[in-house]
A and B are shown apart, each in its own frame.
Chain A
Amino acid sequence: MDRGGRLSAALRLYPFALALALWWLLAASGTLGNEFVMPPPPRVFERARELLDDGTLGREVLVTFSRVALAFSLACVAGVGLGLLIGSVPAVRRALRPLVSFLFPAPKVALYPAMVIVFGLGSASKVALGFSEALFPVLLATAAGASQVDARLRWSAAALGTSRHAALVKVVLPAALPQILNGARIGLVGAIVGVFLGEMIAAADGLGHLMAISYRSLDTPGLYVAMLAVSILGYALDRAFLFARRRLLRWSDEFDGDG
């Protein structure tokens, strides 16, 4: 790693050091309240250790992670599929446009109580909320990307005998990939936020449930453990996504190398 790389790695990690220092200071000074409302880091780490040892934390992380993975994969499949059609088939665009522009700005969490009624209190309603948060960023980015594909690429493919159907997958999809992946990064965070909030509002397991139950049972260190765990999970998934994106876009000249 060269000097610039090491510097940027250090910069990437400094927010965590800053947060830890600030947290320690606030806990020690009691600005925000006593040890109950603002437990010092060692107290929270100790609680994290307990929750790890009795298997709770690992289990809840796994539950949340698998819900996020399912919601995000479903959103990618539906979003990319519909987005490609909307972006390259005018009839589909005309048919779906009003529905998309109505649902996109609507706060999906407002639909959550209805999702609980329809899908029940189990995993399905959390996956549904994560999915609906993740879908639109992917769908809109794909549609935008697909509609901006250089027409000459399509003409060349058609001239070389590629069917319209195959061109969608072999020409439009790769050409729109940089934009799709930008949308998918936003969608991934949407899936995490949706699943976690769904678990907090009404669930029997998952990290969100751990946070809500810690709050209700006055286990404040446990609450901070859950909040930290979901933040770390989100950060790790976001980083992993950026890494995968860099690999997928190695061929692309518009890739600017950031992240």
Chain B
Amino acid sequence: MIAVLVVLALWELAPRLGWVRSESVPAFSDVVREAAAIVTRPEFLDQLGASAGRWAAGLGLAVVIGVPLGLAMGRSRALHALVDPLLVAGYPVPKAALILVFVLWWGAGDASRIAVVVTGALIPLVISSYHGAAAVRPALLWSARGLGTGRWRLWRRVVLPAALPQILSGVRIAIAISIFTVLASELLIRGSGIGAYMFTALDNGQTLTVFAMSVIVATLGFALDVLYAAAVRRAVPWIEGDV
């Protein structure tokens, strides 16, 4: 905890002692007070709800598309050869920037915003599911088949559970990326949502609000990550190592 305390102490002292101007970096205690005030405002909760809805819809769709695709790639060489180059080519594209293109196609509503979250979260989900399915020990498949397990049951009872640890850590990455994508797309095309709320504060020169929003959003991202890891540990106790 030492490093955290040192950082926070510096953040508190630097503006107070005049090392940085308090108009550009407000002291930590002021930021926390402002953050506490913001989270109780109804308009903030409305914006949070708008962002959270898009985030959940986009992430859910990405899981529904990405996980089966990745698992199938892990079991089929041909499919892997076909899809993998697409992933390699799409990987370095800044997905959040596609919001401008999607807005041209589908307007500035939720459809474009959800679509951009899906594109952002998809690749890590496909790749981790692929690695999970490709690493299933052939002996497991042989024994299951030898015992007369059908195709569908083989997927449900052998491939999916064996790949689950990898899938779940892919979801963890996708959670972080999709939060990033939602925020970035809201910063680029205003309207409703947390990102737009934050940027309005920047435009109005409300430095304290900007810092408070950063702290709130960073804490939300961290809290989601911790909750997810804890939920996975509870739900799937047999996973070894990190989630």
Contact = CB atoms under 8 A, between A and B. Distances in A.
Contacts of A224: 101
A102 B89 CA distance: 31
A107 B179 contact: yes
Interface stretch (B32-40, B60-68, B144-152, B214-222): B214-222
Interface in B121-159: none
Interface string B78-93: 0001001110111111
B97 A211 contact: yes
Contacts of A196: 94, 97
Contacts of A16: 89
B31 to A, nearest CB: 10
B81 A117 contact: no
A227 B101 contact: yes
A219 B175 CA distance: 34
A197 B189 CA distance: 12
Given A211-B97, A212-B188, A237 B92 contact: yes
Interface residues of A, number: 56
Given A99-B4, A99-B7, A114-B211, A107 B183 contact: yes
Where chain B touches its partner, the secondary structure class is helix
A212 B188 CA distance: 8
**Which size bracket describes the interface of B in this complex?**
35 or more
B25 interface: yes
A141 interface: no
A111 B24 contact: no
A151 interface: no
Interface stretch (A30-38, A52-60, A164-172): A30-38
B213 interface: yes
B13 interface: no
Contacts of B57: none
A85 to B, nearest CB: 12
Given A105-B176, A231-B92, A33 B214 contact: no
Most chain B C-beta atoms within 10 Å of own C-beta, residue among A13, A108, A189 = A108
Interface in A18-46: 18-19, 32-33, 37-38
Most buried by B among A14, A105, A201: A105
Q: Which of B91, B92, B213, B218 has most A Cβ within 10 Å?
A: B92
A153 to B, nearest CB: 22
17 contacts: A12-B85, A13-B85, A15-B86, A98-B1, A102-B218, A102-B222, A105-B175, A105-B225, A107-B183, A109-B180, A117-B24, A118-B25, A193-B95, A211-B100, A227-B98, A230-B93, A237-B92
Q: Which 6 A-B pairs have the closest CB atoms?
A: A234-B92, A105-B225, A106-B218, A110-B217, A37-B104, A15-B89
Interface of A: 11-16, 18-19, 32-33, 37-38, 94-96, 98-99, 101-114, 116-118, 188-189, 192-193, 196-197, 200-201, 208, 211-212, 215, 220, 223-224, 227, 230-231, 234-235, 237-238
